[in-house]
Amino acid sequence: MGSSITVAVVGARGIAPALGKKGTQSDLTLFNAVRDGHAATIVEPTQFPERFAPLLYALAMADRTLLVVSELSREIAETVATVDLFDMAVELVLGAGVGEAEVHRAFKGTRVEASIATPLDLPRLRSELDNWEAPPYEPGPMLVRIDHAFPVKGVGAVALGVVRRGTLNAHDRLRLYPGEKVVEVRSIQVHDVEARSASAGERVGVALRGVEAEELARGQTLAPEGTMSVGQTFKAHIERRCPYYRGRIAPGAPMQLLAGLQLVPVRLGSVEGDELAFDSDRPVAFVPGESARLSDPSAAPGPRIVARVRLAG
């Protein structure tokens, strides 16, 4: 396969189905567009805004965001505030009833303020999608973040995800983080095509030996033994705060941490300026120095996203 990219389509429903063929469906709906050696996976947070987690998951899976603003609403305000804390390219498109100056004024202080807006034009978007490429991936040991899993008769447990670093090979023996189980890669499919290996950026279905399907879950990571840290007590530095969050980042506050595709409850400990300490209620796998997000599911009114933080361990 040639180039691959994962795109989160947020802000309006009904856009993603026009860009690709419907695939996996849960709280997220995935669509696939494979043309002329270019593969795009489009992720729609179908159960947002009723649930905040799908928006977080969609953005965490993506290399690029397509932000569609068809009206200025509370849902759009929360979407923009959340997109602002994910460091990726944003394509801003506007519905017929929304002006570019109006959007830039409404979201002053976010990355959207400086984004060049274009009118919503589905044929144009489909054409541009075929030329979008993922940014260069960080070097390092192979890493696959699992977003869905299921059993297949005659095959066994299959995990779906994107290779985020390195190269995944058939017969690799990998640890299933944050647990301690070691599994073997029986076979690999890249967009439903059998492959002996998959490179960073490619979406894969991985048949695994040594684990049952019910033991797999979103948030787990396949990586070589010893290449990730696992912990429940963390120190972190706030890289950017959500300017619209109305709660307090204070000792004792219950929040949620999104690290990779793991979304776990945490409780803040010490808070000294931009330096935090907190505990999670379960083990979390992470790469020291990677960015994560704090959210407050109980925040009302205002957005539920709190801050982007860098994990130190």
**Given 206, 223, 240, which residue is the final one in a domain?**
223
**Given 177, 204, 223, which residue is the final one in a domain?**
223
> Hey, which residues does 256 pair with through a beta bridge?
265, 295
Higher-confidence residue: 109 or 45? 45
Looking at residue 109, its pLDDT comes to 86
Same domain, 217 and 233: no
- Which amino acid is located at 103 in the chain? V
What torsion do the CA atoms of 269, 273, 276, 277 make, to the nearest 10 degrees? Answer: -40
At 199, the pLDDT band (50, 70, 90 cuts) reads very high
> Hey, which residues does 265 pair with through a beta bridge?
256
Whether 1 shows a pLDDT value over 60: the answer reads no
Residue 135 lies in a domain: no
Residue 134 lies in a domain: no
pLDDT tens column, 38-88: 999 999 999 999 999 999 999 999 999 999 999 999 999 999 999 999 989
Looking at residue 104, its pLDDT comes to 86
Same domain, 112 and 14: yes
At 2, the pLDDT band (50, 70, 90 cuts) reads low
Same domain, 124 and 150: no
Number of compact structural domains in the chain: 3
Report the candidate in 298, 301, 282, 291 with the shortest Cα–Cα distance to residue 260. 291
CB 90 within 8 A of CB 83: yes
Same domain, 251 and 148: no
CB 203 within 8 A of CB 6: yes
Q: Are strands 64-69 and 4-10 parallel, antiparallel or unpaired?
A: parallel
What torsion do the CA atoms of 17, 143, 202, 194 make, to the nearest 10 degrees? Answer: -110
pTM for the model? 0.95
In the structure encoding, which two tokens stand for residue 258, read together? 């999104």
Q: What is the mean pLDDT of the chain?
A: 94
Same domain, 12 and 121: yes
Same domain, 218 and 299: no
Same domain, 45 and 121: yes
pLDDT tens column, 248-298: 999 999 999 999 999 999 999 999 999 999 999 999 999 999 999 999 999
State the Cα–Cα distance between residues 210 and 176, nearest whole angstrom.
10
CATH code, domain with 70: 3.40.50.300
DSSP code, position 163: E
Residue 288 lies in a domain: yes
DSSP code, position 213: G
Same domain, 12 and 110: yes
CATH code, domain with 253: 2.40.30.10
Same domain, 243 and 283: yes
Domain span at 203: 143-223
Same domain, 278 and 213: no
Same domain, 47 and 89: yes
Same domain, 275 and 235: yes
Q: Is the previous residue joined to 49 through a cis bond, with omega within 30 degrees of 0?
A: yes
pLDDT tens column, 110-127: 888 888 899 999 999 999
Residue 280 lies in a domain: yes
